[in-house]
Every structure is written in structure tokens, then in C-alpha cells.
Amino acid sequence: MKTRVVALAKRPVGMPTAADFAVSEVELPDPGDGEVLVENLCMSVDPYMRGRMVDRKSYVGPFEVGEALTGGAIGRVVKSNVAELPEGEHVESHLGWREAFVSSARGLRPLGNLEAPASAYLGVLGMPGMTAYVGLLDVGQLKDGETVFVSGAAGAVGSAVGQIARIRGCRTIGSAGSADKVRHLIDDLGFDHAFDYHDGHLERQIAEGAPDGIDVYFDNVGGEHLQAALNCMRPAGRIPLCGAISQYNATAPVPGPNNLAIAIGMGLTLKGFIVSNFNHLREDFVRDMTAWVNSGELKYRETTFDGIEHASEAFIGLFTGANTGKMIVNLA
């Protein structure tokens, strides 16, 4: 059987381009003993993948040039030599940018009866949703009724952060990259205040939505957003550091916030985290998030590209603001 994969053709410098990726056809063997053949229904592109395209030490190793990119995908077992993974079972995998694959059961998570479309398991019910959940509630130690600011609020993580905060009775402020997204945050997702960061004056915009200051700033963006938020924090405020998308394509080190010393007098906590260290909260996440999604309290949106040949375009779109909600590549 032939299938297509996307490999890293070369390491991007600055903003990635189509030439940094290469689609190729590969031959898949039949699944052997203890193996399954999975056809992917959809795959994920996520901002964190940009970091793995750089050759440096980090919490996971870098992608290798010439090899298929890895990442989250949802597929269906079409041939099985594994009793626990019968044909027809839906599985989450981390083998990434490929239409189909043969694998042992290791690293495959069976999803059982789907409670939502398969793609939701790459978004609100998957890694980005859990990132929002653990980042806000555990890392950010959110208390009911506090005031929360989240940057990248129309993205997969940010849109969940704002809605979880709202469900917890918090005042929610979000920044996004277009007037349409700002409307979406307020009209569809129930944010109390939202603004387009292209309008500048970040600190004034935050203060308009949070005149008494912020208790939790959920940082997806870094850079000017972090500096502005620091000036708006209330005493003992918390800043979960989740991402720094404003810097992922920088070709030289970007200076940090020039007001970090505010954290001393105000007793602020900045805490970086990656969701894979919070698996002990997975059951809580699945229970709460499934309930919120099923009740309609928490909404999600997706931006979809069709076909693996458009995966690189979808990925690049993460950095140009092409997505509202989760960016999905449909492979079905």
C-alpha cells in the first residue's frame, strides 16, 4: 500500500515557507504480529512544532531533516493484529504528518465511542484543550471570580482558556489578530472584553477590560503582550507561560520584558509548563471538558485544510493568523 507523508525538507529560517516541506509517497508494509494499519482521518499542526524545526536541545528533540514530521493525528484502524485495537477503532497517535501508518499498539490511544467529531480530539478534547485546562486551573491556580487575560484568545488554546475562565465565574479579556476574531470572542465565546492587538496600546486595551487589574495572564504570545500584561497585574498574580508565538520565527534573540522586576514588589509568579507533565489531571480534564462541550457551555471552532498536500500551508497559517480555533488538516 502506498501513502503520502510530509517531511522536513530543510530547517526554516524565519517564517517557514512551502519549500521547507516535502510531500512524498512511501510504501507501507502489511502490519505484522502485534501491529495495526491505521488510516488517519485528520492531523494536527501546532505552533510548538516550529520550535522542533530548530536544531537545539529542548524538552523533546528536534525534527530531523528528511524525515516525516511527527505530531498528533486521529485515525481509524483498518487492519489489526492487536486484540485491544480492533478494526474500526479510532486512535490518537503522535506519528504525525502521514495519511496512514503501520505501528505497534504502543503510543496509540484508543478513543472508544467518539463523543464529538474526530477532529475535536486534536483540539478542545485533545492536547490544546488539556493545555488550556491544566494551564489555567493548575499552573495558574485560578480562583472563581478572578480576572483573566489571555493572548492568542481566538486560537485553539486561548479560546478554551477564556471559556473555562467564564465558566468559573471569571471576568475574561482576550487579544486576537483581527476584528472578526474579536467579534467571535465576544459574540460567540462570551468574553467580557476583547481587542485586536494590531491596534497597539496593549496596556491601555488590557486596562480597559480590567480596570482593577489582572489576576491571571495566560501567555500564548510572549513579547510585547507579556510586557504589557506585567504592568496590569494585581498583587500575587499568576502568569502561566504556555507559548511565545510572537517569537517562534525570530532569527535573533528577542529581548524579554523590560519590566520583569515588577514581579518582585507585586509577588507575581511566572510559571512555564508543557502539558505532557500533567497527565495526572487527564481524567479530570476529560470529565470536565466533555461535559462542557456536550452542554454547549464551551464552544469550539476549527479552520480546516483538505489534503496532506496542504499541511505545510496550514502550519504556516498558524503564524499569519489564518486560523480561528484549532487548525486541522483533513485527511479523510
Residues that bind its own copies (CB under 8 A): 51, 58-59, 222, 226-227, 235, 241-244, 247, 253-274, 277
* Grid cell for residue 310: 496542504
Shortest Cβ 243–its own copies spacing (Å):
7
SS3 at position 24:
strand
* Grid cell for residue 242: 504556555
Shortest Cβ 219–its own copies spacing (Å):
9
- State the pairing for strand pair 171-176/147-150: parallel
Shortest Cβ 176–its own copies spacing (Å):
21
* Grid cell for residue 91: 486512535
Shortest Cβ 118–its own copies spacing (Å):
28
Residue (253 or 296) nearer to its own copies, CB: 253
Residue (277 or 294) nearer to its own copies, CB: 277
Shortest Cβ 304–its own copies spacing (Å):
27
- CA 272 from chain centre, in angstroms, equals 15
Residue (91 or 221) nearer to its own copies, CB: 221
Residue 324 identity (one-letter amino acid): T
- Report the distance separating Cα 56 and Cα 43, nearest Å: 25
End-to-end CA distance of the chain: 16
Residue 30 DSSP one-character state: P
Residue 47 DSSP one-character state: T
Residue (209 or 257) nearer to its own copies, CB: 257
Residue (7 or 132) nearer to its own copies, CB: 132
- Report the distance separating Cα 329 and Cα 314, nearest Å: 7
